[in-house]
Amino acid sequence: MSQSQFVSKCTVDALAVAAQSLISGHLVAFPTETVYGLGANATDRGAVAKIYAAKARPTDHPLIVHILSMQAMGDWAEDIPAYAIALARDFWPGPMTLVLKRSPLAQDFITGGQDSVAVRVPDHVVALALLEAFSAVGGKGVVAPSANRFGHVSPTTAQAVCDELSSYLSVDDQILDGGPCAVGVESTIIDCTGSSPKILRPGAITAQMITESTGLDVVTPSDSNDAGKENIRVSGSLEAHYAPAAKVVLDQAPQVGQGFIAMATTTTPDGVIRLASPNKDVEFAQTLYASLRKADELGLSHVVIEQPTGSGIAVAIRDRLMRAANGR
Ligand code: TXA
Ligand code: MG
């Protein structure tokens, strides 16, 4: 099968076919506002096993259940604290994942054996239409990790999903094309199993936004002395992750023949290959993963990145860059 045969445009018919395909135990990659996800029926052990195989992901790394609305939180979680409800109200649909005490529906094969479950309502018309069609045929939730091989850069276009995974998909699997992702980095993951929210992975929903929504202080990865070391099973918090084949070097002068990513105000030295020149931090996030992929397409040995210094989504960008620089 050629790569392009996996990709479908998102017509109403295609979404109905995709929902049926999920119910039948096949994989459907789909766009979200953050990155593309590789979806499977969250209650189908065999289908979920296909995700782990396609990604070559260790099976004790838990998955995020994508749901249609906050009403479905109660299907997957129990003892939901009031502050988690406030967050869901304020930021869903949106780039935020809540980790909650799991219900019996959330089985070991999606939680990696942990007593918690991660849930999120994505903010993308295609993702929501797919979840709606899936719900119409009896589906409860779709688990979807980023649609990349384990440890690699997350895909932000359908073509990038194809490049990553087409060799590992079966004829009945498919990729829905919904254009490039608007946010470009993965959702903020918030542990809501304690008395106050704790950020496990920074993203577009920031600590300040969480405090404004809940009135509570937020524990951040730096407060807890690196969430990555603390909980190795949060794969997005491993020290080496999100990495291209090219070596990522931070905040150094780029050399001739090396790739370079920096804000538009920084000039490109002679002989250096400029991969992106974002004007704002949100644009930096939008273009980052595609730029890292471009570096690999060009066969570059090094990509030098001048990190954005701001707060907001720049925190998430620096988090991913630090891990990308730690290599694979
Ligand atoms: O933006 C996103 O979150 C994307 C899109 C597709 O929704 N998904 C995504 O999934 O980034 P993934 O699997 O690549 O990263 C999810 C992270 C992993 O690091 C996983 O370990 C963590 O969520 N996670 C899932 N369940 C968890 C749990 N119960 N406790 C702690 N961490 C959990
Ligand atoms: Mg991932």
Q: What are phi and psi of 109, to 5 degrees?
A: -70, -10
Clarify whether residues 160 and 265 are in a common domain: no
Nearest ligand atom owner, CA of 202: 1
Clarify whether residues 170 and 48 are in a common domain: yes
Q: Which of 177, 210, 228 is the last residue of a domain?
A: 177
Residue 16 has pLDDT above 80, yes or no: yes
Q: How confident is the model at residue 89 (pLDDT cuts 50, 70, 90)?
A: very high
Clarify whether residues 158 and 289 are in a common domain: no
Clarify whether residues 288 and 172 are in a common domain: no
The predicted-structure confidence for 166-195, as pLDDT tens digits, reads as follows 999 999 999 999 999 999 999 999 999 999
This prediction's pTM: 0.94
| Domains: count for the chain | 2
Q: Say which CATH number the domain at 134 has.
A: 3.90.870.10
Nearest ligand atom owner, CA of 32: 1
Range of the domain at 254: 247-325
Tell which atom from ligand 1 comes closest to the C-alpha of 231: 31
Residue to substitute in 68, 97, 107, 130 for testing ligand 1 pocket (most ligand atoms within 8 angstroms of CB): 97
Structure tokens that stand for 140 in this block? 């409860």
> What does the alpha-carbon distance between residue 48 and residue 2 come to, in Å, rounded to a whole number?
24
Residue 223 covered by a domain: no
Q: Which of 159, 177, 195 is the last residue of a domain?
A: 177
Q: Is the Cβ atom of 188 under 6 angstroms away from ligand 1?
A: no
Closest CA to 320 of 163, 201, 229: 201
Residue 227 covered by a domain: no
Residue 285: in which H helix or E strand, if any? helix 281-297
Residue 2 has pLDDT above 90, yes or no: no
CA of 147 to the centre of ligand 1 (A): 12
Structure tokens that stand for 36 in this block? 């593309």
Q: What are phi and psi of 21, to 5 degrees?
A: -65, -40
Beta bridge partners of 108: none
> What does the alpha-carbon distance between residue 114 and residue 102 come to, in Å, rounded to a whole number?
9
Residue 113 covered by a domain: yes
CA of 213 to the centre of ligand 2 (A): 26
Q: Which of 162, 177, 192 is the last residue of a domain?
A: 177
